[in-house]
């Protein structure tokens, strides 16, 4: 019985430590501006499986980054863009299906992440993702961390209640003068300074729960925080942020389509996680035993 027990433990350990458990897929997106390399998150399995399936089938090959907005994102994956004519409106194509949203509080729109495009809330209340269209976030660095710490809509609502009271007339006048002067930085600073008092007097929670990791990323690397929990983040670049910046800087027309086509070729390679870390410096989270 003892030998059987030892054998069982060895068998379980073998499964846990097997090579299959330590491998991952590396996605390479080749463009005329250079190559971008990404990993896809295990936390979003439906999106990961779908993207790999399409890439292996060469679905993305020769498709355009058809929508480019500097300091925001670059978007591609519309199959209609493969033979899209100059000035043709793009962005409505796909494989004929959507993917269930996979929101995860640990995954957010920092610079370099891959996220799934989708239809608007009115057309798509469940926020289901496009079957093939995706975007890569460029975003901007948030200089004032208060913009991340406070719920702007709730703060505005609470502030209106606060300054409407006669005893807070001085705050009302001060905000009015700052706004009229056009000094919006000073105006926002004043608004944020009043937030604790607004919470105390109105009973409204205007602060947001934000992790230290998210706060640091948005104030150093940058991103687009207003997209969080609205679109599914499913991967990130581990090489090629400079290429992302080059594509985001290309000249575009009135519909945000690059004047000169920027096409993609997408390949997938399976490597050990150890090798991915060695080559690209990407560090996987260690699961505690």
Give me the pLDDT at residue 57, please: 98
For the entire predicted model, the pTM comes to: 0.85
Give me the pLDDT at residue 88, please: 83
The CATH topology of domain 22-142+212-280 is: Cyclophilin (2.40.100)
Of 83, 81, 78, the residue nearest 95 (C-alpha): 78
**Pairing assessment for the beta strands 73-76 and 113-116 based on DSSP bridges:** unpaired
Q: Where are the domains of the chain?
A: 22-142+212-280, 151-202
Give me the pLDDT at residue 18, please: 47
Digit-by-digit pLDDT tens for the chain (289 residues) are: 455 444 454 444 444 444 445 899 999 999 999 999 999 999 999 999 999 999 999 999 999 999 999 999 999 999 999 998 887 889 899 999 999 999 999 999 999 999 999 999 999 999 999 999 999 999 999 999 998 999 888 999 999 999 999 999 999 999 999 899 988 889 989 999 999 999 998 999 999 889 999 999 999 999 999 999 999 999 999 999 999 999 999 999 999 999 999 999 999 999 999 999 999 999 987 644 4
Give me the pLDDT at residue 86, please: 82
Give me the pLDDT at residue 67, please: 97
Give me the pLDDT at residue 11, please: 46
36 within 8 A of 244, measured Cβ to Cβ: yes
**Pairing assessment for the beta strands 34-40 and 233-239 based on DSSP bridges:** antiparallel
Handedness of CA 172, 174, 180, 185 (dihedral sign): negative
């Amino acid at each position: 019985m003892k030998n059987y027990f030892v054998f069982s433990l060895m068998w379980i350990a073998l499964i846990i430590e097997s090579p299959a458990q330590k491998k991952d897929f590396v996605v390479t997106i080749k463009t005329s501006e250079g190559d971008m390399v990404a990993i896809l998150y295990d936390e979003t399995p439906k999106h990961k499986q779908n993207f790999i399936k399409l890439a292996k089938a060469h679905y993305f090959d020769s498709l355009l980054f058809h929508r480019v907005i500097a300091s925001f994102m670059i978007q591609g994956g519309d199959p209609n863009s493969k033979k899209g004519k100059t000035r043709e409106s793009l962005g409505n194509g796909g494989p004929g299906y959507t993917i269930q949203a996979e929101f995860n509080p640990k995954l957010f729109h920092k610079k370099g992440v891959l996220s799934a495009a989708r239809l608007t809330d009115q057309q798509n209340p469940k926020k289901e993702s496009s079957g093939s269209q995706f975007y890569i976030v460029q975003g901007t660095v948030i200089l004032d961390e208060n913009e991340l710490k406070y719920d702007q809509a709730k703060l505005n609502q609470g502030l209106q209640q606060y300054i409407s009271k006669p005893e807070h007339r001085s705050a009302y006048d001060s905000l009015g003068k700052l706004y009229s002067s056009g000094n919006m930085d000073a105006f926002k600073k004043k608004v944020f300074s009043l937030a604790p008092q607004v919470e105390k007097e109105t009973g409204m929670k205007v602060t947001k729960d934000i992790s230290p990791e998210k706060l640091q990323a948005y104030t150093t690397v940058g991103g687009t925080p207003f997209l969080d929990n609205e679109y599914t983040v499913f991967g990130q670049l581990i090489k090629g942020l400079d290429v992302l910046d080059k594509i985001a800087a290309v000249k575009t027309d009135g519909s945000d389509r690059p004047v000169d086509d920027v096409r993609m070729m997408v390949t997938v390679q399976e490597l050990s996680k150890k090798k991915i870390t060695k080559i690209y410096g990407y560090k996987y989270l260690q699961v505690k035993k």
